[in-house]
Amino acid sequence: ILICFSVLYCKKSSTSSDGVTPFILKGYVELDGERVPNVNVKFEFGEGSANAGELVYTPKIKQTDSKGEFEFRQKVTKVQAKYFVCVQHPLTGAWTSKRGGTALNGKTATEPFILASQ
């Protein structure tokens, strides 16, 4: 009984405690057709009010997992919200061009990065 309770209690949910499903960005990195683990991924999330000029962006960097995949979750709290993402090439160390879009609670975006060694 204790084990069942622990599993049910600790089960991870995609919805936060206030009932809001966050914006989710998923993706993967391939190099020459193979998924690559431990690649740096930079996620920049910015939000602001409708009257605000520029959005204020907060960067986060994490690495791809053992399957070459990454995921970021971000709760949107303002009227306007956008994201940008780029990856660091595993061989050259150069950052790719940024990709991005509008971030909305409950929305999942996918950004695959297909890289070549040459």
Domain-embedded: residue 6: no
CA–CA dist 64, 18 (Å, integer): 29
CB-CB contact of 76 with 109 (8 Å): no
CB-CB contact of 42 with 85 (8 Å): yes
| Residue 52 vs residue 92, higher pLDDT | 92
Boundaries of domain holding 86: 15-115
Of the pLDDT bands very low, low, confident and very high (cuts 50, 70, 90), residue 108 is very high
Domain-embedded: residue 97: yes
What are the tens digits of pLDDT across the range 17-53? 667 899 999 999 999 999 999 999 999 999 987 676 6
CA–CA dist 109, 118 (Å, integer): 28
What are the tens digits of pLDDT across the range 53-78? 678 889 999 999 999 999 999 999 98
Which CATH number goes with the domain that contains 94? 2.60.40.10
pLDDT for res 8 = 37
CA–CA dist 44, 16 (Å, integer): 21
